[in-house]
Structure 1
Amino acid sequence: MKIAVVAANGRTGKLITAEAIERGLDVTAIVRRDNKSAATQVIQKDIMDLTKEDLASFDVVIDAFGTWDPEKMDQHSATLGHLSDILAGTKTRLLVVGGAGSLYTDQTHTTMISDLPTFPDAFQPVAQGMKKSLDALRKRTDVNWTYISPAADFQAEGPRTGSYTLAGEEFTTNEKGESTISYADYAIAMVDEAQQGQHNQQRISVLGK
């Protein structure tokens, strides 16, 4: 299996790249600047400069792009839209590192957790930016996409436990009443989805046990 990790220099991208390499997969890092990931195969390009030809040989493309800059929130939609356009009509699967703010509070799917008054104001810009990109992705029937939301408490420095719980579109907690997952365990879930491919054109979520 050939996998490309877009934004492989980021915190999540690095761990996904390392997890895939550890499993013996053929991994290429796509980075804008010098490669800092574990991959030895590299495409050094800005996301918006990628072409159909650049991605034609991959079975799976993992989009790990993200920004916290309030002035750049439109880049979530722009970059994901570009990747969708150049993968449209192909067999290549597009897996997206998503956000938790767009998870629904219950099965009616009428209210997202970012709509709640308790949702932190500091996280609203990125939640809204990623929600907009997910809304656009849902309209794509020409792309084999899967959007994977992490738990609400997405811990960059959290431990790698080697396990996680797979959930759907609703905000979910574990037996301790917590919604948390480490970047390392999220990377495991992402590579599992890359290898197993069971959620085409769906948004799923993952949380720690």
Structure 2
Amino acid sequence: MKIAVVAASGRAGKLITNEAVKRNHEVTAIVRHKNQTEASYVLQKDLYDLTYQDLKEFDIVVDAFGVWNPSDMDLHDSSLMHLADCLSGTSTKLFVVGGAGSLYIDSEHVKQLKDTPEFPEEAKPVAEGMVKALDHLKERGDAQWVYVSPAASFIADGVKTEDYTITDNEYVENKAGESKISYQDYALAFVDAVEADKYNQVQISIYQNA
């Protein structure tokens, strides 16, 4: 497939890019600055300057953009809506590196992980910003998208186990009572989901089995 990764030099974006390259997909890294990935093709451009013309030839566009400064939380929503606008009415599917705060903890889908007392206070601004963006994405019937949430504990320096499950938008713990996934396993499962070509306009999540 022809895959573009927005913010490809970020931590998650880089791993997803490199994994897709290893699987022989034609990958373009979209970056603002120097490319730090294994992608053979590079488009150096700001996310907000991207247009339909830039993205129309791709089968998949991966949105790995993220911000953590509390004053920038609206960028989660505006950036995602900009990419959805660029892909509106096309067959190109937008795969989003999402957050765990939006996972539901009840079968009625009323309460989300971010609403629990155990959710870290320092992570709530990011979670709220990402939930707002996801809520608006759910309203977009004009674009094809898949929102990929990690488990509750998203471990940057975690090891690659290759032992993970792709599930729906409900919070899940493994047999050890943990909800976790390493960035490396997340990247593997993310590309698995892209290759499966069976998800559309849904939120999915990934957790480590042990």
TM-score (norm 1): 0.98
CA distance in 1, matches of 2:116, 2:208: 23
Matched, 1:156 2:184: no
Tell me the secondary structure at the aligned position of residue 96 of structure 2: strand
What residue ranges of structure 2 are gaps of 5+ in the alignment?
A: none
Residue deviations 1:105-159 (CA, integer Å, cap 9, x gap): 1111011111112211100010001000000000001111000100000001111
Matched length: 209
Tell me the secondary structure at the aligned position of residue 102 of structure 2: coil
Matched, 1:36 2:36: yes
Aligned to 1:9: 9
Aligned to 2:50: 50
* Equivalence map 1:1-209=2 (5 Å): 1-209=1-209
Partner amino acid for 2:61?
Answer: V
Q: How far 1:52 moved relative to its partner?
A: 0.4
CA distance in 2, matches of 1:163, 1:10: 24
What residue ranges of structure 1 are gaps of 5+ in the alignment?
A: none
CA distance in 2, matches of 1:164, 1:4: 24
CA distance in 2, matches of 1:75, 1:165: 30
Partner amino acid for 2:180?
Answer: T
CA RMSD of aligned residues (A): 0.7
Q: How far 1:40 moved relative to its partner?
A: 2.1
Q: How far 1:194 moved relative to its partner?
A: 1.2
Q: How far 1:38 moved relative to its partner?
A: 1.3
Residue deviations 1:16-60 (CA, integer Å, cap 9, x gap): 001000001100000011111111200001100001000011000
Q: How far 1:196 moved relative to its partner?
A: 1.3
Runs of 4+ in 1 over 2 A off after TM superposition: none
Q: How far 1:163 moved relative to its partner?
A: 2.5
Tell me the secondary structure at the aligned position of residue 162 of structure 1: coil
